[in-house]
Amino acid sequence: MEKWHPYEQLNIDIYEITSYVGSITRATINFTTEDKSQHTLFFENVLSLKYTTENGFINRFYNVPSGVLGSNSIYIVKDSEYLKNFEYEVSGTIPTDDVRHFLVLDSIDTGIEILTTHDPILDLGTDYDE
């Protein structure tokens, strides 16, 4: 069974994911916090990206211990079926030893799952242009 662990290197409470862009190897997530400040989260070397609304997480939320969900909106998922399926699908064509499964949630109903080998980068600015 998968386990969610808050990603402690970045502790941010995302109120609303306002947009996301996935390119060949990069994901950009624009979001606001509860005080309406705007920020951007970047992921490099993205191998897979999945977006869903809360309906896609109902069973998973039910199985997450209540103490895990808190003020941090970024999680590392251990024992991930998403990652296991990715490893199966690539059939050894790329190394997967360093791939991690990140989960980014907002307080509204959005979840973005990212498989990558890099840590996310947080831009606290308000300019969404890259």
Q: Write down the pTM of the prediction.
A: 0.89
pLDDT at 130: 45
Task: Kindly report the backbone phi and psi dihedral angles of residue 90, in degrees, each rounded to the nearest multiple of 5, phi listed first.
Answer: -80, -10
Domain ranges of the chain: 3-121
Kindly state the average pLDDT of the residues 50-68: 74
Using one digit for the tens of pLDDT, what is the confidence trace for 74-105?
999 999 999 999 999 999 999 999 999 999 99
